[in-house]
Structure 1
């Protein structure tokens, strides 16, 4: 099935309006692959007819499905473990010391996809209950994809999804096998995370002033003006000594003045570095 340039423009406008992401020509090759199942389900015969149905505006659920299909929801548990080691080691130890009086941490997984990142964090804290006894650990996760957020809330994953990033010991401890080679994450971990459907160009979720923000492998899909807006939103949501974690191929350099590289924790970023104490080893 060929995709006309007019159809690509319509899809690009829809994706941009809903999410702020751009559908560059370099990504247009994915359109046929990700939308062909919708074409078959609706019996439309061609992608152009699917796009025409979306453009007509009479089927909002179809438009939602198209946007969800166009989004890249690639993720896994503990994706890029080296970055997680920096975040949950020296950077978190620094925040633990700074929050010793309030004993409260707020974490935002922005662009959480199907929830593996947020549940990785919940799992990490749940496995260290004695260290964090008496603390309030709030984990908020958001994504613009309705389908991704619904799966995240349900906490049901395929065998392939669970095996990506998790050793067998954690699989057996935190998941229960379900029919159809699926695995259900524990109620304990589900209760630790609040999922919301939210675009990164929208106002940040409550409570704001997050100590840790993860916004990984999302910014690269935005045009430069939108990327600047997103960085402003992230800065608005970050505590003054908060930590920002981006994807391995992303950076703040040349993108924003709101964050700078953490000189002590490689791959992490700070909002106000002059207010930060040096990283120390995790206890």
Structure 2
């Protein structure tokens, strides 16, 4: 398998950091070469050298494919029981009580990958909170990978292996229909979620504020200055009484002084100082 040279790797690192804030780190030459060779096959480019050359020239199709290949899209339905348990037993009931007068709930799943997380939230709301059927519930799901990743999310079609990872059988029966060998989520659940391309380095102000914001298992790929920048932006998009949920191994540790850590229903979340 053709490998990447040191010079090409440095160009790739610079592209990933400038474009997405991703700190590639050291010792990943084999992984990078494997992923870029796959991009070369897909785009019918003869070599990694030619691929990096086109990337350096700013070819959009190449940039999109490389960025998608180099971002980690590991996800599953109801990934990590703790946060989803807390959302069901504590967080959503609290938000419903606080927003009862306006009957509106805004949720943002940042770095949503192929959509299992926002669809898990949508199914939870439909299945466990029927009173929200009369509310304006908006679930925004965003990712930087605008190619196959968001296309798959919008389609809402998953393999047998994907629905076997974390999705309870009753929800599979209730909200999916079989489509060949795959499973397609119902139109009703798909309509609850809006997918958009958003770069966490450049979060647009027009997104507004959110009662519940999930940005899980993505900050681990950034260096501390980039984490501070992203957390500062996320904090501005969090409602005064809102909840921010990060990945289980992601701790602020002085990265943002305006968000306080709380234990809610056995899970960890962050809120504005004095929000509880």
Shorter-normalised TM range: over 0.9
Partner of 2:274: 274
Deviations 1:132-165 (A, max 9, x none): 2422211001000012112111111121112111
Deviation at 1:259, TM superposition (A): 1.3
Contact 1:259/1:269, CA 8 A, preserved across alignment = no
**Pair 1:248-2:248 in alignment:** yes
Partner of 2:19: 18
Residues 120-269 of structure 1 correspond to what in structure 2 (within 5 A)? 120-147=120-147, 148-179=149-180, 181-204=181-204, 206-269=206-269
Aligned-pair Cα RMSD in Å:
1.8
Deviation at 1:271, TM superposition (A): 2.9
CA–CA separation in structure 1 for the residues paired with 2:226 and 2:165:
31
Residues 62-81 of structure 1 correspond to what in structure 2 (within 5 A)? 62-81=62-81
CA–CA separation in structure 2 for the residues paired with 1:61 and 1:75:
25
Could you list the runs of 5+ residues in structure 2 that have no partner in the other structure?
none
Deviation at 1:61, TM superposition (A): 0.6
**Pair 1:106-2:106 in alignment:** yes
Deviation at 1:123, TM superposition (A): 0.6
Contact 2:106/2:139, CA 8 A, preserved across alignment = yes
Deviation at 1:34, TM superposition (A): 1.6
Deviations 1:62-107 (A, max 9, x none): 1211111001011000000112101221122222221121121100
CA–CA separation in structure 2 for the residues paired with 1:182 and 1:68:
23
Q: What SS is found at the alignment partner of 1:160?
A: helix
After TM superposition, the score normalised by the length of structure 2 is: 0.93
Deviations 1:152-188 (A, max 9, x none): 1111112111211112221122112122x22211100
CA–CA separation in structure 2 for the residues paired with 1:270 and 1:189:
27
Could you list the runs of 5+ residues in structure 1 that have no partner in the other structure?
277-283
CA–CA separation in structure 1 for the residues paired with 2:133 and 2:215:
27
After TM superposition, the score normalised by the length of structure 1 is: 0.90
Contact 1:244/1:268, CA 8 A, preserved across alignment = no
